[in-house]
Amino acid sequence: MQILAVDTILAGKDVGARSEIARRVGEHLCRDEPDSADRRAAEALARTLANDVIESVRRELSNSLRRARWLPRDIALRIAHDVDSVACPFLEVTEVFSETDWEQLVLTLSRSGLVAVARRAAMSERLALSLAELGDGIVAETLVDNPASPMTRSVCHTLMGRFDSEIWVLDRMAQRKDLVLEVVLGLIEKVSGAAREKLVCNYELPDHMGIVAAEAETNTLLKLMRETPLKALPDLAASLKRQGKLTENLLLTAIRENLLEFLAAALSSLAGMRLEQTRSILLRADTKVVMDVFKRCRIDEALHDDMWQALVAARKKH
């Protein structure tokens, strides 16, 4: 690259010309060359182009520099903190940052930037742990979907602790085939039925493990129903519905445990009915009206009679 003043090289250049210069600068800096005047000139151009007012010029520079084996830190950080279309392709590939750099970057990047980092083909445990600690559910999903992410005990326990109520994240983790047994046994109590079956199959667990985990989860949910204040039960029911845990068996168990206030909140959420109306029907209505509510909730008709009998018994205790 000819050594000229940056202003001379870029003077009067339109967007297309500046984008071409950005591409050539990136190619030059990607070569393994020792420190030289030529390289310093290219770096000076890169600094100017990294601040170009036109996004497409900066994007061209980012794309051309993302595989550079080394790059001045100020240029790399400027690209990393640019708009997503510029920063994300660079963050997903670049190897110029140290572990310490990554720990600092995770604190300041946008969600899209963190998602790009979570897709990296090269992922250390320290970086994975930082993403698990600071990223949201979308970042966590991307992290566990990436085969390069090391699913160590620390990373997995962090994810399981932070996303305990976001079952879709844990369900995605359950698809992994490289989890340690300790994590598998902890995860099996938290995930959906389908994910639980996947874990039992992938890790060749005894068949009773799925049953034990399901029972443990039910007991945990029953305890939560008992301890949740009355006014918060609708929120609990809505949350369990979103997580896919408001199952027919759970509803039947709730009736048998005389948890009618929770049942009213749950059926109200499932049927789209007013809570007071649903509560009144459960406590006082006849068989046909109650069965109509069960139908609106799309509860399997094979369970209707069992639920009605359990409800009759629960009414006597209420």
In a domain, 52, yes or no: yes
pLDDT in tens, 103-145: 999 999 999 999 999 999 999 999 999 999 999 999 999 999 9
Mean pLDDT of the chain: 88
Arithmetic mean of pLDDT, 83-100:
96
In a domain, 104, yes or no: no
Model-level pTM greater than 0.85?
no
Arithmetic mean of pLDDT, 24-34:
81
pLDDT in tens, 185-228: 788 778 887 888 888 888 876 554 555 566 666 777 888 888 88
| The pLDDT of residue 3 | 40
| The pLDDT of residue 2 | 44
Burial class (CB in 10 A: 0-12, 13-18, 19+), 18: buried
Q: Which token pair is 304?
A: 């209707």
In a domain, 38, yes or no: yes
- The whole-angstrom separation of Cα 172 and Cα 169 is 5
Q: Which domain holds residue 49?
A: 1-68
Look at residue 5 and tell me whether its pLDDT is greater than 60. no
> CB of 151 within 8 A of CB of 157?
no
Q: Identify which of 225, 317, 214, 300 has the alpha carbon closest to the alpha carbon of residue 264.
A: 225
- The whole-angstrom separation of Cα 43 and Cα 73 is 11
In a domain, 307, yes or no: yes
Look at residue 4 and tell me whether its pLDDT is greater than 80. no
| The pLDDT of residue 32 | 61
More confident residue, 69 or 220: 69
* Chosen domain end from 68, 83, 115: 68
More confident residue, 188 or 97: 97
DSSP assignment of 270-305, as one string?
HHT--HHHHHHHHHH--HHHHHHHHHHTT--GGGHH
| The pLDDT of residue 1 | 44
What total of structural domains would you count in the chain?
Answer: 2
Q: Which of 29-33, 158-162, 229-233 has the highest mean pLDDT?
A: 158-162
Helices 260-271 & 275-284 angle (0-180, nearest 10): 120
In a domain, 222, yes or no: no
* Chosen domain end from 68, 94, 123: 68
In a domain, 220, yes or no: no
* Chosen domain end from 27, 43, 68: 68
pLDDT in tens, 224-274: 888 888 888 998 888 888 878 788 888 999 999 999 999 999 999 999 999
pLDDT in tens, 73-87: 999 999 999 999 999
> CB of 99 within 8 A of CB of 124?
yes
DSSP assignment of 224-278, as one string?
HHHHS-GGGHHHHHHHHHHTT---HHHHHHHHHTT-HHHHHHHHHHHHT--HHHH
